[in-house]
Amino acid sequence: MTCWILVFASQIQAQVTALVGGTLIDGYGSQPLRNSVIIIEGEKIKAVGRIGEIEIPTGAKIISTEGMTVLPGLWDMHVHLMINGHSDYAYWDKKYPPLFQSVIMPASAHQLLMAGVTSARDLGGPLKESIAVRDAINRGDIPGATMYVSGPFLQHRPYPGTEDFRWGIYGEKDAREKVQKLAKAGVDCIKLIDQDEMTKEEVFAIVDEAHKNKLKVVGHSHRPNEIRIGLKAGVDNFEHTGLSSAPGYPQDILDSIQERTAKMSLGPLFWTPTIEGLYNYEELRDNPERLDDPSWHLDLPDSVIKDIKHSIQHPESLSYFQLTPIRKPTLVNKFKQLQKAGVVMMIGTDSGIPMKFHSMSTWNELDVWVRVMGVDPLQAIKSATYWPAFFMGVDKKVGTISPGKDADIIAVRGDVIKYIDLLQSVDIVVKKGKQYK
Ligand SMILES: [Zn+2]
């Protein structure tokens, strides 16, 4: 009797859905599977195969993916939920913290999800709010990308007015205590910035304490010495191509990167180049129509939308981007230098910075990688699916379309391998088995 009740209960709980017909890219970088079938049971992928090879259970809800490319939900490894494209950080940081947890951060996470980004890593935000929003999404209370959060930046000294999300480090002991505090609060990684301004002992203590707590360290890399000290201390993942308008990485840094990437037992060295914002700035300045796209208004109050619009009405005059046209021509060289040095690159965008909306950042990064940097589209997709999940230590659970993993799946009408920019209009978004779009 008990047995029957259990069987019956599991049958009514687990809704079965079949995605049928589309060309499947699984996220591992191998050739696509034509006429695919994905069976989803509850939150998980039950089976993957081709029409005729896989039995579709009777009573399954069938969603046709004919004419579409089907792929794992995208990851964006560098977002900032607490900002929404406003151009004046000092103003934003003063005015909007009371709305971060209830409005701003949930809106950002929801916009990411609707853009096909089913997982994202937030690198630098207030601790309590970051954890609260992540957990509310995981509980299913609010819609949004599954978040992995660093909480506050760890740095030499916080800039005035940013103490809530930038923690200063005052000696080696303090470095360990702050990492422990973050670990205890449940962050998913540690974010370092301005580590070239810290003492060597402080940087080493942060990385060591993070690793002891099974947390990876993500380091900012805008300046040569941020990279140098970061490599010495064992930072796991660097962000940005950096180095301002300098033409490329100095030889000693390239040598150190290669020394590191040669050590297989340490695992890959990861790099999130975040190039699209820089690469696309001039185009956006000259044709700002994209800024009028209402996709970034989702869940934001009218007053906030108006405020953001007002701040970016003259893209040509934003001080943030004045040097960008001089930096842009250096991007190809820097990207290729990193590639040649053997790093594993991941898709990330710095989404949330001036004019970079969560609803439209991620696909642009993939587009620039493929169209400008010449990256194979299947490898670019792997850098937005498998590798991020691997980096976060959740590749057994998510990141590819494989039986047993979470059903985080998107589908797009057309051939994404031939036209990567089709990712700008995702037709179907499924996260943990639930269809959001
Ligand atoms: Zn950032």
Distance from the alpha carbon of residue 40 to the mean position of ligand 1, in angstroms:
35
For the segment 295-323, the average pLDDT, to the nearest whole number, is 96
- Would you state the pLDDT for residue 188? 98
In the structure encoding, which two tokens stand for residue 394, read together? 């959740």
Q: Within its chain, how far is the Cα of 113 from the centroid?
A: 11
pLDDT at 265: 94
Distance in Å, CA 210 to ligand 1 centroid: 20
Which residue(s) pair with 41 in the sheet? Answer: 16, 44
What mean pLDDT is predicted for residues 135-160? 97
What is the distance in A from the centroid of ligand 1 to the CA of 271? 13
If you average pLDDT over residues 93-114, what whole number do you get? 98
* Ligand 1: centre distance to CA 350 (Å): 5
- What are the DSSP calls for 68-111, one per residue? EEEEEPEEEEEE-TT--S-S-HHHHHHHSHHHIIIIIHHHHHHH
Question: What is the pTM for the complete model shown?
Answer: 0.96
pLDDT band, very low/low/confident/very high, at 291 (cuts 50, 70, 90): very high
Å from CA of 220 to ligand 1 middle? 8
> At 12, is the pLDDT very low, low, confident or very high (cuts 50, 70, 90)?
low
For residue 144, report the distance from its CA to the centre of ligand 1, in Å.
Answer: 19
CA of 351 to the centre of ligand 1 (A): 8
The SS3 call for residue 148 is strand
Neighbouring residues of 281: CB distance < 8 A, sequence distance ≥ 6: 315, 321, 324, 325, 328
CA 369 to chain centre: 15
Q: How far is CA 145 from CA 29, 130, 185, in A?
A: 23, 13, 20
Q: What is the mean pLDDT of residues 309-322?
A: 94
Least confident piece of the model among 5-9, 305-309, 310-314 = 5-9
Residue 24 has pLDDT above 90, yes or no: yes
User: Region 36-46: what's the mean pLDDT?
Assistant: 98
Query: What is the Å distance from ligand 1's center to 69 Cα?
Result: 30
The CA 284 to ligand 1 mean position distance, Å, reads: 20
354 dihedral zone (left: phi>0; alpha: psi -120 to 50; beta): beta
CA distance 232 to 139: 39
| CA 5 / ligand 1 centre spacing (Å) | 51
Nearest to 339 by CA among 376, 309, 304, 310: 376
Which two three-digit tokens encode residue 112? 């990411």
Q: What is the pLDDT of residues 350-370, one digit of tens each?
A: 999 999 999 999 999 999 999
Residue 199, pLDDT score? 98
Residue 13 pLDDT grade (very low, low, confident, very high; cuts 50, 70, 90): low
The predicted-structure confidence for 239-250, as pLDDT tens digits, reads as follows 999 999 999 999
Share of the chain above pLDDT 90, in %: 97
Q: Nearest 5°: CA angle at 223, between 372 and 360?
A: 40
Q: How many residues does the chain have?
A: 437
How far, in Å, from the CA of 80 to the mean position of ligand 1?
A: 6
Task: State how far Cα 102 lies from the chain centre.
Answer: 21
- pLDDT above 60 for 96: yes
- Per DSSP (E only), the strands in 240-284 are 270-272
User: How far apart are the C-alpha atoms of 191 and 130, rounded to whole Å?
Assistant: 13
Q: How far is the CA of 60 from the centre of ligand 1 (A)?
A: 42
- Whole-number Å distance between alpha carbons of 230 and 193: 10
From ligand 1's centre to the CA of 240, what distance in Å? 8
pLDDT at residue 4 tops 70: no
Return the structure tokens found at 384: 């937005």
- Phi/psi of residue 374, each to 5°? 75, 20
pLDDT at 7 over 70: no
Tokens of 53: 């090879």
Rounded mean pLDDT of 92-102? 97
Average pLDDT over residues 41-64: 96
